[in-house]
């Protein structure tokens, strides 16, 4: 379930991306650090789906331009982190 604080963080994060919408797709990456591998995968998928639904509703995004990617707890290598727990918004900008 998405909390009021979570919605506020998403709104603030999206304020940096709205200049690129609706012409560029957004991917919601989900991460979960606790549980067995299958539980982490399912939790990361659920987190990404909840955020996707919120963003589509709140910002009137085209569902065909918002994707999800469950990634368990594996952050991108360039972050220097060993685990990640939450979501990450990725804007795919066309050249």
User: Which tens digits make up the pLDDT trace of 20-38?
Assistant: 888 899 999 999 999 999 9
What does the angle CA 27 – CA 19 – CA 62 come to, to the nearest 5 degrees?
Answer: 45
pTM over 0.75? The answer is yes
Q: What's the helix, strand, coil split of the chain in %, to 5?
A: 45, 20, 35
Question: 10 Å Cβ neighbour count for 47?
Answer: 22
**Which pLDDT belongs to residue 30?**
94
pLDDT of res. 78: 83
Report pLDDT digits (tens) over 36-83: 999 999 999 999 999 999 999 999 999 999 999 998 777 777 888 888
Strand (E) positions, the chain?
A: 26-31, 66-70, 86-91
Pairing of strands 86-91, 26-31: antiparallel
The pLDDT assigned to 22 comes to 84
88's tokens: 């990450």
pLDDT at 55: 96
């Amino acid at each position: 379930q998405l909390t009021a604080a979570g919605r506020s963080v998403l709104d603030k994060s999206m304020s940096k991306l709205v200049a690129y919408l609706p012409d560029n797709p957004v991917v919601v990456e989900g991460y979960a650090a606790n549980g067995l591998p299958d539980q982490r995968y399912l939790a990361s998928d659920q987190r990404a789906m909840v955020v996707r639904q919120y963003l589509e509703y709140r910002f009137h995004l085209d569902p065909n331009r918002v994707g999800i990617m469950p990634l368990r707890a594996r952050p991108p290598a360039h972050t220097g982190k060993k685990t990640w727990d939450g979501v990450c918004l990725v804007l795919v900008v066309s050249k």
